[in-house]
Amino acid sequence: MSPYRIPYGCQSIDQADIDAVVAVLKSPWLTQGPTIERFERALAEHCQAEHAVAVCNATAALHIACVAAGLGPGDWLWTSPNTFVASANCGRYCGAQVDFVDIDPRTWNMDAQRLADKLEAAERSGTLPKVVVVVAFAGQSADLQAIARLSQRYGFVLIEDAAHAVGASYMGRPVGCGAYAAMTIFSFHPVKIITSAEGGMVLTNRQDFAERLRRLRSHGITSDPAVMQVPDKGLWYYQQMELGFNYRMTDLQAALGLSQVARLEPFVARRRELAARYQQLLAGLPLTLPVAQDGAESAWHLYVVRLDLSRISLTQAQVFEALRAQGLGVNLHYIPVHLQPYYQEQGFAEGDFPEAERYFLEALSLPLFPELSDEMQDEVVEHLRRILD
Ligand SMILES: *Cc1c(COP(=O)(O)O)cnc(C)c1O
């Protein structure tokens, strides 16, 4: 529960969602049963992907996607500094080293040109990344066309962290379809586009990745005789083929997630409507508003503006305090990952990724969620207008 009258994000749970969870509770399967598969199939179909593997959260999804991509000690994973820490931590779980590619100052996503330059330098020094995690910040894909070309040229596995972007599209096709990324990750945390309370999913068109992901989410165990190393000894037989995890989603969570897939389109439609209203209502204020990436249609997980600090008398902190004092749960996405103490210990310092750092000093996430009414949104705009005046 948010302590604010109008939070920055909030789930929407209706009676159908509740009934779906209760029905599973009364069934014989509470975990890893038939509802998981239905949830996976529903989202795979919606996103035009071949395979979907549900797990307990998107952090676990990122982790096993990196394992499936072959990431290990001595390898490099690159991601954007403007993201939640999980996009980088997945590399550390695998024992790999993490580095960042600064953001495009217009879209706030990883800058494809900076990525190209950094890859060129890394090729010369023999430190090319094995995995690049590209974040669809706020629900909008990065320049995936250019980044996918770089992935082919330099041989890294492209993982799209689309935790913000289920329901978004890119070049006319759903995010997750696999036209550009080898694997796409979704999060179903309550604050994201659709929820399963906790939950995540990996979408891929590669059969080998899908099989590996299924095995990794459940201890590295298989009961499929075709992949065992010694002949099957009976119906009760299973073999652990590698070191896996217990990253399973429960059927209770899958029931909520599946029910929410049916609401995905109206959720995203309402988010787009509210974002378009913000664009109109905020025009003329001392703010930089979000800019569209070519070919991307955002799912609008977040509505972020940048304060034009040269034109207002308050600091960023004062703007936050003034809005929060009105019960408006404004937020900040994100503190650049390389400025976190853990990553400073890994050798990163202030000044390493100046665009992400400049962005961080000006960013402000305004309330945006499907049940936000026009009246509540008008109120947010009025307070902001008054504070910035
Ligand atoms: C929320 C989020 C995650 C992690 O999702 P969980 O399901 O909470 O583990 C990863 N990456 C990004 C960009 C996120 O916003």
Residue whose C-alpha is closest to residue 9's, from 367, 373, 375, 380: 367
Cβ(58) to ligand 1 under 6 A? yes
Cβ(164) to ligand 1 under 6 A? yes
pLDDT of residue 329: 94
Q: Which atom of ligand 1 is nearest to the CA of 59?
A: 9
Q: What is the pLDDT of residues 341-365, one digit of tens each?
A: 999 999 999 999 999 999 999 999 9
Calculate mean pLDDT across residues 91-95.
98
Q: Supply the residue whose CA is at minimum distance from atom 6 of ligand 1.
A: 58
* pLDDT of residue 225 exceeding 80: no
pLDDT of residue 73: 98
Element (H, E) at 161: strand 157-161
Q: For residue 385, report the distance from its CA to the centre of ligand 1, in Å.
A: 31
Q: What is the pLDDT of residues 244-257, one digit of tens each?
A: 999 999 999 999 99
Which is it for the CA torsion 72, 75, 78, 83, positive or negative? positive
Distance of CA 349 to the CA centre of its chain: 25
pTM exceeding 0.95: yes
Q: What is the pLDDT of residues 318-327, one digit of tens each?
A: 999 999 999 9
Residue whose C-alpha is closest to residue 194's, from 262, 248, 136: 262
Report the amino acid identity of residue 207. Answer: Q
Q: Active-site residue among 26, 118, 130, 192?
A: 192
Give the sheet arrangement for strand 169-170, strand by strand: 173-174, 169-170, 296-297
Cβ(57) to ligand 1 under 6 A? yes
Residue whose C-alpha is closest to residue 154's, from 177, 123, 108, 117: 123
Calculate mean pLDDT across residues 1-13.
88
Q: What is the pLDDT of residues 182-203, one digit of tens each?
A: 999 999 999 999 999 999 999 9
Residue whose C-alpha is closest to residue 200's, from 209, 190, 212, 210: 190
130 is catalytic: no
Alpha carbons 385 and 192: distance in angstroms, whole number: 27
Give 231's pLDDT tier (boundaries 50, 70, 90).
Answer: low
Q: CA dist 137 to 73, 160, 246, 282, Å?
A: 28, 10, 28, 21
Cβ(301) to ligand 1 under 6 A? no
| Burial class of 246 by CB neighbour count within 10 A (0 to 12, 13 to 18, 19+) | exposed
Farthest-apart Cα atoms in the chain, separation: 76
Q: CA dist 348 to 111, 149, 248, 313, Å?
A: 19, 28, 34, 32
Neighbours of 139 (CB within 10 A): 29
What tokens were used for 17? Answer: 């969602």
Alpha carbons 266 and 62: distance in angstroms, whole number: 27
Cβ(302) to ligand 1 under 6 A? no
Q: For residue 86, report the distance from its CA to the centre of ligand 1, in Å.
A: 6
Q: For residue 163, report the distance from its CA to the centre of ligand 1, in Å.
A: 5
Alpha carbons 142 and 250: distance in angstroms, whole number: 32
Give 389's pLDDT tier (boundaries 50, 70, 90).
Answer: confident
* Strand partners for 328: 6
* Strand partners for 79: 100, 133
Q: What is the pLDDT of residues 133-160, one digit of tens each?
A: 999 999 999 999 999 999 999 999 999 9
Q: What is the pLDDT of residues 285-313, one digit of tens each?
A: 999 999 999 999 999 999 999 999 999 99
Alpha carbons 167 and 67: distance in angstroms, whole number: 26
Please report, in angstroms and rounded to a whole number, the separation of the first and last CA atoms in the chain.
31
Give 237's pLDDT tier (boundaries 50, 70, 90).
Answer: confident
Residue whose C-alpha is closest to residue 239's, from 225, 257, 255: 225
Three-class SS state of 266: helix
Q: For residue 139, report the distance from its CA to the centre of ligand 1, in Å.
A: 12
Give 28's pLDDT tier (boundaries 50, 70, 90).
Answer: very high
Alpha carbons 311 and 267: distance in angstroms, whole number: 35
Q: For residue 137, report the distance from its CA to the centre of ligand 1, in Å.
A: 11
> How confident is the prediction for the chain on average, in pLDDT?
96
pLDDT of residue 146: 98
High-pLDDT (> 70) share of the chain, % = 96
Structural domains of the chain ordered from first start = 6-261 (3.40.640.10), 264-388 (3.90.1150.10)
Alpha carbons 78 and 82: distance in angstroms, whole number: 12
